[in-house]
Amino acid sequence: MERSAQACSGAAAPAGTTTGPPAAAPRVPAQQRATDRDRTARTAGPVLGGARGEHTHGETPLPGTGTGTGTGSGAGAAPAVRPVVRRTSVRGQILDALRTALVSGDLVPGEVYSAPVLGERFGVSATPVREAMQQLAQEGAVEVVPNRGFRVVVRGSRELAELAEVRALIEVPVMLRLARTVPADGWARMRPLAEATIRAAASGCRATYAESDRVFHRALLGLAGNEQLVAVAEDLHRRSQWPLVGGQPGRGRADLVADAAEHMALLEALAAGDLDAVQALVREHFTHAA
């Protein structure tokens, strides 16, 4: 896990995208034993959310960053200063960070992770972490383990092949239609996004490349003008990026760069209206998808 975090530490996000904190996927601890949690509490002091078991009836709220300097309760007293934190924003940032940790391998297939322990790592209460994990459970990335936390789903090569097949069934007909209908300037506008995937691949960071790859494909399918299609395709795409159990040997920097280069080749085939090349490139690209 240290290797994947280090590899992504200096990677820049692709142009036109937003990234949630942190810039690199944090090292995500698996479920700690009770003695480990007690030791952490004694040495680190109070933490948000506490190192409690997963079965709880309430969560410690996010504390304010400070209070006003005034005293007393009269009309002249300065009001307490509390940060305005949108709950959905905190949950969204945690969800982004957990998705990055999934792609980078910091969330290990088969391991169980506790929301309170992850909350300590992120500096928030367990509640937004648990909510983000519930979203990942709906997406099929993790499964709920009662009174313990969430287990990262173990996937095999067969599931990856099935996802590639479904993506091809959905997207190949769309790409062929786009090749016949999109004007040349439409493909020119796609080139910066394709070039961004090449830069992201050169960083060697799987999480950085995965985000840039999704941005490119989302924009490409967006040319079809079907929002439902884009949403379904992106869900399948995200699932295809989760690592297999034991990792994926051979998916290093050179492989990411080769994968990104297929984006440029696909754009050229689409602009030329070469339907046979478009179909072959799309199927091959999905088979090699990160």
- How does pLDDT run across 16-49, given as a tens digit for each residue? 444 343 344 445 555 544 444 444 444 333 333 3
- How much is the pLDDT for 206? 87
Of residues 81 and 255, more confidently modeled: 255
Q: What are 230's two structure tokens?
A: 């884009």
Average pLDDT of span 212-222: 96
- With contact defined as beta carbons under 8 Å apart, do 248 and 232 qualify? no
280 in the same domain as 166: yes
Answer yes or no: is 142 within a domain.
Answer: yes
Whether residue 273 is contained in a domain is answered as yes
Task: Say yes or no to pLDDT of 64 above 70.
Answer: no
Number of domains in the chain: 2
Q: Which residue has the higher pLDDT, 184 or 220?
A: 220
Q: pLDDT value at position 215?
A: 96
Q: What is the CATH number of the domain that holds 51?
A: 1.10.10.10
49, 120 Cβ separation under 8 angstroms? yes
The C-alpha atoms of residue 25 and residue 283 are separated, in whole angstroms, by 30
Each residue's pLDDT tens digit, 188-203: 999 999 999 999 999 9
pLDDT score, position 156:
84
- Same domain for 203 and 122? no
Place 211 in a pLDDT band, splitting at 50, 70 and 90: very high
* Inside any domain, residue 171: yes
- Let me know whether 94 and 215 are in one domain: no
Do 233 and 94 share a domain, yes or no?
no
Looking at the fold, whether 179 and 240 belong to one and the same domain comes out as yes
Rounded distance, CA 109 to CA 181, Å? 42
Judge if 171 and 189 occupy the same domain: yes
Nearest to 59 by CA among 108, 8, 124: 124
Do residues 257 and 265 make contact, with C-beta atoms less than 8 angstroms apart? no
Residues 227 and 118 in one domain: no
Same domain, yes or no: 192 and 114 = no
Residue 227 has pLDDT above 70, yes or no: yes
Pick the more confident residue, 179 or 184.
179
Residue 78 within a domain: no
Residue 85 near residue 22 (C-beta atoms within 8 A): no
- Looking at the structure, tell me whether residues 184 and 127 fall in a common domain: no
Average pLDDT over residues 46-69: 38
- Separation in Å, CA 226 to CA 157, 214, 221, 256: 30, 16, 8, 28
Checking phi first, is residue 275 left (phi over 0); if not, alpha (psi -120 to 50) or beta? alpha
What's the distance, CA 153 to chain centroid?
Answer: 15
- Are 179 and 64 in the same domain? no
Domain of residue 239 covers 157-287
Q: Per the confidence metrics, is the pTM higher than 0.85?
A: no
Task: Assess whether 132 and 194 both reside in one domain.
Answer: no
- Do 55 and 90 sit in the same domain of this protein? yes
Question: Is 10 within the bounds of a domain?
Answer: yes
Asked if the structure places residue 271 within a domain, the reply is yes
Average pLDDT over residues 89-112: 89
Q: In this structure, is the dihedral angle defined by the CA atoms of residues 109, 89, 26 and 230, taken in order, positive or negative?
A: positive
CA 266 to chain centre: 25
Q: Is residue 75 part of a domain?
A: no
> Between 40 and 98, where is the model more confident?
98
